Amino acid sequence: GDSVTQMEGPVTLSEEAFLTINCTYTATGYPSLFWYVQYPGEGLQLLLKATKADDKGSNKGFEATYRKETTSFHLEKGSVQVSDSAVYFCALSLGAGGTSYGKLTFGQGTILTVHP
């Protein structure tokens, strides 16, 4: 079945450090890929997305590129801030049609803590 594997956390960085959170996926079709972020005590928010191979999603300084050949969607940020401390979830969706629409399959989540 479809699955998402994220690098295990927690990840602890100093402010202004470079961030990479690895994400790989297994899917039977051509999924859309997402990164969601969950700040303490809040629900999940969409951070960025990519809907086809080689697309790059970006938002708030974060980027991720849809790599079909390596089935990956790694999240990167060049300089993290304390306010980026949160849990990050990689997810996939098989998108339109049938009973798969909108069903997100999530990775386990990676806790990021950024220290001043």
Partner 1 sequence: DAGVIQSPRHEVTEMGQEVTLRCKPISGHDYLFWYRQTMMRGLELLIYFNNNVPIDDSGMPEDRFSAKMPNASFSTLKIQPSEPRDSAVYFCASSSRGLTRNTGELFFGEGSRLTVL
Interface residues toward partner 1, by CB under 8 A = 32, 34, 36, 41-46, 49, 51, 89, 93-97, 99, 101-104, 106-109
Indicate the residue among 53 and 79 with the shorter CB distance to partner 1: 53
With H, G, I as helix, E, B as strand and everything else as coil, classify residue 57: strand
* Minimum separation from the CB atom of position 71 to partner 1 (A): 17
Select from 12, 5, 10, 13 the least CA-distant residue to 110: 10
Indicate the residue among 18 and 39 with the shorter CB distance to partner 1: 39
